[in-house]
Amino acid sequence: MKKTVFSGVGTALITPLDQNGVDFPKLKALIEWQIAQGVDALIVCGTTGEKSTLDTKEHQAVTEFAIETVNHRIPVIAGTGSNDAAHGVEMTKHAARSGADAVLVVTPYYNKATQNGLIRNFTAYADASDCPVILYNVPSRTGCNILPETAEKLAEHPNIVAIKEASGDIAQIADIAARTRGKLDIYSGNDDSIVPVLSLGGKGVISVLSNLMPKETKEICRLYFEGKVEESAELQLRLFPLIKALFSEVNPIPVKAAMAALGFCENYVRLPLTPMEEAHEAKLLELMRQQGLKV
């Protein structure tokens, strides 16, 4: 049996940025707060961490800083995937050398790939990595979907241990679960479907919501794991309007606005992203207030 990287909630962490670059003091404060709030893992340099507009030095520096700051208290998972496999493999090797507990490898974006290409691509990462590989399927952003039969083949690799499934297709996730039972852990990649994915045997969620509501996001998982399915679903549904608002514009635009309102970062994103539109931001902040957040 492959070892599970984490169970519960892993926060897809924002990267605090300003016009001068990465704000490492704010990143440290955010990491410490997340750990104090009880999250089960941290994911750095992913989609929410604005990986695509971090240059290589920044990406490596954020990865190293997070690993050093966490200091083995919880797993740190480093986003290393790229549409250039050679570059992604080098970033994966760097993350492994730096002490990452796992790497998160997204499907190649823009140039995409055939299913055979995906198998060869992910195998190259897994062969090169000294730490476990988590596949990341998010076809709405990449234009490339890991089909269930492809996930089944990839699950045979001893170093490919899990998949972050953000296709939004519950039937597909069920198919993957049926094909890979015991060989591939599944994490919900969407906050609006944590409970449905857990019901299919999922191990937890890689979450945007938990940036601002880590305790509550973890509680959804905890309640479910304790057999309190109705209570877990009720909390999922109570948070649904806020989750929807967090995706009213392209991630991470809304969560950056939310975290700025809470004092964790500046409301700053790099082009081609732009700050949240005023009407959307006003609605987001009101929903945060309704959940008891002080903004």
Distance CA(244)–CA(10), nearest Å, equals 19
Distance of CA 139 to the CA centre of its chain: 14
**Amino acid letter for position 172:** Q
Tokens of 157: 């690799």
Whole-angstrom CA distances from 159 to 94, 127, 137, 184 are 17, 8, 17, 10
Q: Mark whether 136 is an active-site residue.
A: yes
Distance CA 83, CA 108 (A): 4
- CB–CB of 135/146 below 8 Å? yes
Which one from 136, 153, 203, 224 is the annotated catalytic residue?
136
Q: Dump the DSSP string for 145-156.
A: ---HHHHHHHTT
Q: Which of 26, 51, 153, 164 is catalytic?
A: 164
Token code pair at residue 175 = 């198919």
5: its two tokens:
């990287």
Q: Is 125 a catalytic residue?
A: no
Distance CA 21, CA 209 (A): 24
**Side chain identity at 179, as an amino acid letter?**
R
The CA-CA-CA angle for residues 88, 91, 97, to 5°, reads 145
Would you name the residues annotated as active-site residues? 136, 164
